[in-house]
């Protein structure tokens, strides 16, 4: 009897844990004219509760594009949760098939979320990296009234003319100067456009020296990232950007205390139009340094049920992407070469200018030295002579220069009867 009671108690406890588990729903074709997506609910989510949870929209970079939703968990907010980072929010994580993010399609997913979940609509946050950084700024510009705060890393905006539309949304732009995938100039242009009008805006820009593209993926694993987002709310008063933290100082320790697959997430097909649940839940592992965010297009997933036309279409899309990437790489290489040549030319000109200035300085110093020597020589020569003035005598002149009258007469071949005249030059020193 005692064993039976213990068994019943254990079953009940497990049922309660199952009901409140962290759950990830897969949605394939759920929302028409939009994207397939993953939707995460934490164990704290309680439908119809007075305390509603915020919504985070995670937009991945090009490397996670495709038709396999498991790819979306390779890095980012969902990956951070699997590694033990506590994020008390609903998370919407769509997957792009390979195209840049479309604000209208993203907005349809957010509409669907509001219709199907109890979301705190005053706390809707968007965070993205690389292509996701572009998607973040494009969505904020298209629907600023919907976004409470956003973080756009190593991205840009599709049209600079749309940048001013983001001015009232607390936006944090972060980009590294060593980014080889997306040039830092793309974020520079956005920030310059926001400042162009001279009107106030809510954007903070961190331009990090010597930081590369992949390093910023660590932002998703920092507790401070989500704390900064959650500090913003649209309820009660106009939203203003909160103080940011020192990204460079915190990034190296982003994975501290986290452990691979330390949190179990239950994966279920989403509703109302579920897709078959994967036979085996894919468990991702974190790279030793930063999660990969390469810009190369992913290989199309193998699928035994894929039609020949679909396979052909995917192969054509892959070939087109690879061709575009090669062209972009060639263009970037040409730009780098031109920049290097221009820099070398500029450096050579500066060196020549510096050398000419040094030579001119040396010559000027030599001339000055020569002139000083000549002046000294003239002065020394002048000191050997005395120009007779009116009223002077042989005796007064000799006395003035500290010599005897006999010495004065000897140097100038004078006698005691010689008459000297005003203006006459007499030697007073050998």
pLDDT at site 308: 59
Assess whether 40 and 158 both reside in one domain: yes
How many domains, in total, are found in the chain? 3
Q: Do 112 and 164 belong to one domain?
A: yes
Share of the chain above pLDDT 90, in %: 65
Question: Which range, of 65-79, 158-172, 260-274, averages the lowest pLDDT?
Answer: 260-274
Helix, strand, coil distribution of the chain in percent, nearest 5: 45, 15, 40
78-115 tens-digit pLDDT: 999 999 999 999 999 999 999 999 999 999 999 999 99
Residue 273 has pLDDT above 90, yes or no: no
- Confidence at residue 292, expressed as pLDDT on a 0 to 100 scale: 35
pLDDT in tens, 234-250: 865 567 899 999 999 99
- Domain contains 292: no
> Do 40 and 157 belong together in one domain?
yes
Domain contains 278: no
Beta-carbon count within 10 A of 247 CB: 22
| Domain membership flag for residue 283 | no
Same domain, 354 and 392: no
Provide the residue range defining the domain that includes 415: 385-427
Predicted local distance difference test score (pLDDT) of residue 237:
57
**Token pair recorded at residue 60:** 């991945």
Indicate the burial class of 55 (C-beta count within 10 angstroms; 0-12, 13-18, 19 or more).
buried
Q: Could you tell me the CATH number of the domain that includes residue 394?
A: 3.10.350.10
**Same domain, yes or no, for 85 and 125?**
yes
If DSSP states are collapsed to H, E and C, what string results for 245-258? CCHHHHHHHCCCCC
Same-domain pairing of 214 and 99: yes
Q: Is the pLDDT of residue 9 over 60?
A: no
Q: What is the mean pLDDT of residues 376-397?
A: 90
Residues 203 and 265 in one domain: yes
In a domain, 379, yes or no: no
Looking at the structure, tell me whether residues 313 and 399 fall in a common domain: no
pLDDT band at residue 5 under the 50/70/90 scheme = very low
Report residue 416's pLDDT band, with 50, 70 and 90 as the boundaries: confident
Q: Which of 321, 203, 276, 388 is nearest to 27 (CA)?
A: 276
- pLDDT tier at 49 (50, 70, 90 boundaries)? confident
Answer yes or no: do 68 and 180 share one domain: yes
Q: Please report whether residue 235 resides in a domain.
A: yes
CA dist., res. 10 & res. 31, Å (int): 39
pLDDT in tens, 293-345: 333 333 333 333 334 565 566 567 667 767 877 887 788 888 888 888 988 89
Picking from 351, 373, 395, the residue at the C-terminal end of a domain is 373
* Position 294 in a domain: no
* Arithmetic mean of pLDDT over the chain: 84
Q: How far apart (Å, rounded) are the C-alpha atoms in residues 305 and 327?
A: 33
Place of tokens 């510009």: 141
Give CA torsion, residues 367, 369, 375, 380, to 10 deg.
Answer: -150
Task: Choose the final residue of a domain: 247, 269, 291.
Answer: 269
177-225 per-position pLDDT tens digit: 999 999 999 999 999 999 998 889 999 999 999 999 999 999 999 999 9
Q: What CATH number corresponds to the domain at position 149?
A: 3.40.50.1820
- Asked if residue 390 and residue 361 are part of one domain, the reply reads no
189 and 94 within one domain: yes
Task: Look at strands 36-41 and 23-27 and give their pairing.
Answer: antiparallel
Q: What is the dihedral of CA 203, 295, 336, 172, to 10 degrees?
A: 10
Same domain, yes or no: 366 and 397? no
Beta bridge partners of 39: 25, 92
Q: Is residue 380 part of a domain?
A: no
Whether 305 is covered by a domain: the verdict is yes
Cα 131 to Cα 22: distance, rounded to the nearest angstrom? 28
> Is residue 349 predicted with pLDDT exceeding 80?
yes
């Amino acid at each position: 009897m005692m064993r039976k009671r213990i068994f019943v108690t254990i079953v009940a406890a497990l049922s309660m844990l199952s009901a409140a588990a962290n759950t990830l729903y897969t949605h394939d074709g759920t929302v028409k004219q939009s994207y397939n997506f993953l939707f995460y609910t934490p164990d704290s989510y309680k439908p119809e509760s007075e305390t509603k949870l915020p919504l985070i929209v995670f937009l991945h970079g090009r490397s996670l594009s495709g038709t396999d939703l498991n790819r979306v968990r390779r890095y980012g907010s969902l990956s951070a949760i699997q590694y033990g980072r506590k994020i008390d929010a609903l998370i919407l994580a769509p997957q792009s098939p390979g195209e840049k993010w479309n604000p209208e399609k993203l907005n349809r997913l957010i509409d669907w979320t509001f219709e199907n979940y109890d979301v705190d609509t005053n706390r809707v946050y968007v965070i993205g990296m690389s292509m996701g950084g572009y998607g973040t700024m494009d969505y904020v510009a298209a629907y600023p009234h919907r976004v409470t705060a956003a973080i756009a890393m190593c991205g840009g905006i599709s049209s600079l003319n749309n940048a001013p539309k983001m001015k009232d949304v607390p936006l944090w732009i972060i980009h590294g100067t060593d980014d080889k995938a997306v040039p830092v100039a793309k974020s520079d242009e956005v920030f310059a456009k926001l400042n162009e009008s001279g009107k106030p805006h809510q954007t903070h820009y961190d331009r990090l020296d010597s930081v590369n593209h992949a390093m910023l993926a660590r932002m998703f694993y920092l507790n401070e990232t989500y704390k900064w987002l959650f500090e913003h709310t649209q309820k009660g008063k106009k939203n203003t950007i909160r103080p940011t933290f020192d990204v460079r100082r915190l990034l190296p320790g982003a994975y501290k205390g986290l452990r691979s697959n330390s949190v179990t997430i239950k994966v279920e097909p989403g509703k109302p139009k579920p897709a078959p649940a994967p036979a085996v839940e894919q468990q991702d592992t974190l790279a030793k340094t930063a999660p990969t965010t390469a810009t190369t297009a992913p290989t199309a997933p193998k699928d035994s049920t894929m039609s020949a036309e679909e396979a052909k279409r995917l192969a054509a899309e892959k070939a087109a992407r690879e061709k575009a990437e090669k062209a972009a790489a060639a263009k970037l290489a040409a730009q780098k070469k031109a920049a290097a040549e221009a820099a070398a030319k500029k450096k050579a000109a500066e060196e020549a200018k510096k050398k000419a200035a040094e030579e001119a300085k040396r010559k000027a110093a030599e001339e000055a030295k020569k002139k000083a020597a000549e002046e000294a020589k003239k002065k020394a020569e002048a000191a050997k002579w005395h120009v007779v003035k009116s009223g002077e005598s042989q005796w007064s002149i000799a006395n003035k220069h500290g010599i005897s009258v006999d010495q004065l007469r000897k140097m100038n071949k004078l006698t005691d009867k010689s008459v000297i005249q005003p203006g006459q030059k007499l030697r007073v020193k050998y």
